[in-house]
Amino acid sequence: QVQLVESGGGSVHAGGSLKLSCTSSKTTFSDNCMGWFRQAPGKEREGVAGIYTGTRDTFYADFAKGRFTISQDNAKNTIYLQMNTLKPEDSAMYYCATGCLVAGKTVIQALGLTPRRQRGQGTQVTVS
């Protein structure tokens, strides 16, 4: 199982911001597809945002476009998810994931299907 360590979750009011971080090993980080998916109680998992760490190409779910920004820091083997203008419906457990290049799937679709062995423990985001 890959080692992905997330941080940055918390509770904010609607309209607020949070920045999530996910640190991995250099091997996992280099030239890989990494990203975030989320899952709220009683709801299906959904991909949020992805990034090719080799090219810095980014991908977003429709609900994330214009509000969320995924980025990376090569020196720290870390990806980030800056979330602005948060809404109550953004409340969920957010998971960092790797390996989002899956044949026949978009990056966002693949993130929503990430197997347990390719994700971190998750960080809770609550928007009230």
pLDDT higher than threshold 80 for residue 4: yes
Answer yes or no: are the C-beta atoms of 10 and 126 closer than 8 Å.
yes
Answer yes or no: are the C-beta atoms of 87 and 127 closer than 8 Å.
yes
- DSSP strand E in the chain: where? 5-7, 10-12, 18-23, 33-39, 46-52, 58-60, 68-73, 78-83, 92-98, 123-127
Instruction: Identify the DSSP state of 53.
Output: T
Instruction: Name the average pLDDT for the chain.
Output: 96
Any idea which of 6-10, 25-29, 56-60, 63-67 has the lowest mean pLDDT? 25-29
- Give the integer Cα–Cα distance in Å for 108 and 39: 14
Residues, the chain: 128
Question: How high is the pLDDT of residue 39?
Answer: 97
Question: How high is the pLDDT of residue 2?
Answer: 83
Tens digits of residue pLDDT in 35-85: 999 999 999 999 999 999 999 999 999 999 999 999 999 999 999 999 999
pLDDT higher than threshold 80 for residue 1: no
- Give the integer Cα–Cα distance in Å for 40 and 77: 27
Q: Say how many C-beta atoms besides its own lie within 10 A of residue 92's C-beta.
A: 21
Answer yes or no: are the C-beta atoms of 125 and 10 closer than 8 Å.
yes
Q: Nearest Cα to 4, choosing from 100, 88, 87? A: 100
Tokens of 97: 């994931």
pLDDT higher than threshold 90 for residue 124: yes
Question: How high is the pLDDT of residue 26?
Answer: 87
Question: How high is the pLDDT of residue 31?
Answer: 86
